[in-house]
């Protein structure tokens, strides 16, 4: 088990929604880390976070993961890194491809080099369902990032740095997601839906944080951890948020999928199933699956896929409304109120 009380933890993108929730969780735990470092590039967000979280264990580093020299300085003495920094908006990636490559791919390479050379023990990188069989540039950059972090385990050498990846779906009520967009659009009485057949995976920010922290204990080096989470159709989501609204079908945006995948068929030969997750093992020759099998992992059936439209867990409209209200307590004050 991870000795958090004697560990120094660094979170890239630490001022984002996930980073802030992770920091709060660690600070409120029974044995918080001896030092927590927030690494991000927005000085205003860091200032606001400093005012909100006055804790002596917190340190704030201004910097960009594109800057390898700054990472070398920030990673000095760090034991665990949670890598949450990324450019994430699908349409923005299609129009600004070079910027996404610089941050999501070259930034990942910088983190790997700095982590190994600074003797960091574990690195958990956050990925996305869009990295599985990607059709847009954002997903492609995250797939490339995932490949880099998996392969990093093969050349960390005697430094012993372990790299793992967490891949999950959409976070309920997160910034830039469809839920806040629908909650704003419903004021007009019309919700624009890309396709009424569309489905997505959903989880709460709290679920995401808990899952990521659990992987720190489990990572052996090179695994992709996938939580078992619920699906919901976009049409049912729209009905839950705007039951009295009219719906307009506008069609898929460039780079958008009808359904999302967390475990594609191509990765099923290396996938093991656990009670609450799937673990995709690295296909490299250096990998030994015995440890995961000892923990109770079972191979998935041949041709298995974990896709949002063939899931066995589904959210109802009432489920979604409760989760939104929990994730965003102010939602009850936003007119019209959730049903």
Active site residues: 130
Q: CB-based contacts of 7: which residues, under 8 Å, 6+ apart?
A: 33, 34, 79, 80
Residue 339 CB coordination number (10 Å): 12
Inter-residue contact 130 to 89 (CB < 8 Å): no
Inter-residue contact 216 to 124 (CB < 8 Å): yes
- How far apart CA 25 and CA 12 sit, in angstroms, is 16
Inter-residue contact 21 to 13 (CB < 8 Å): no
3-state class of 197 per DSSP? Answer: coil
Inter-residue contact 229 to 201 (CB < 8 Å): yes
- How far apart CA 246 and CA 68 sit, in angstroms, is 50
- How far apart CA 55 and CA 126 sit, in angstroms, is 25
DSSP state of 136: S
């Amino acid at each position: 088990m991870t000795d958090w009380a004697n560990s120094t933890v660094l979170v890239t993108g630490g001022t984002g929604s996930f980073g802030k929730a992770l920091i709060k969780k660690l600070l409120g735990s029974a044995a918080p880390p001896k030092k927590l470092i927030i690494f991000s590039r927005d000085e205003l967000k860091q200032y606001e976070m400093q005012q909100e979280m006055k804790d002596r264990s917190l340190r704030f580093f201004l910097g960009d993961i594109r800057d390898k020299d700054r990472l070398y300085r920030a990673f000095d003495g760090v034991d665990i890194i949670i890598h949450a920094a990324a450019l994430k908006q699908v349409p923005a990636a299609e129009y600004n491809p070079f910027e996404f490559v610089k941050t999501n791919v070259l930034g990942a390479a910088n983190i790997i080099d700095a982590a190994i050379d600074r003797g960091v023990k574990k690195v958990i990188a956050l990925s996305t369902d869009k990295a599985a069989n990607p059709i847009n540039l954002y997903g492609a950059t995250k797939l490339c990032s995932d490949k880099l972090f998996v392969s990093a385990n093969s050349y960390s050498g005697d430094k012993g740095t372990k790299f793992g990846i967490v891949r999950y779906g959409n976070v309920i009520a997160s910034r830039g997601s469809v839920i806040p967009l629908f909650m704003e659009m419903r004021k007009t009485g019309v919700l624009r839906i890309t396709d009424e057949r569309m489905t997505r995976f959903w989880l709460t920010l709290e679920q995401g944080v808990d899952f990521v922290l659990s992987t720190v204990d489990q990572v052996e080096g090179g695994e992709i951890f996938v939580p078992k989470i619920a699906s919901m159709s976009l049409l049912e989501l729209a009905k839950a948020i705007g039951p009295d609204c009219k719906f307009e079908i506008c069609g898929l945006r460039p780079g958008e999928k009808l359904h999302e995948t967390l475990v594609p068929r191509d990765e099923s030969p290396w996938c093991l199933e656990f009670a609450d997750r799937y673990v995709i093992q690295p296909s490299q020759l250096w990998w030994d699956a015995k440890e995961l099998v000892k923990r109770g992992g079972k191979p998935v059936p041949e041709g298995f896929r974990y896709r949002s439209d063939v899931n066995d867990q589904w959210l109802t409209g009432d489920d979604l409304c409760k989760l939104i209200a929990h994730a965003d307590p102010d939602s009850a004050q936003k007119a019209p109120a959730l049903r």
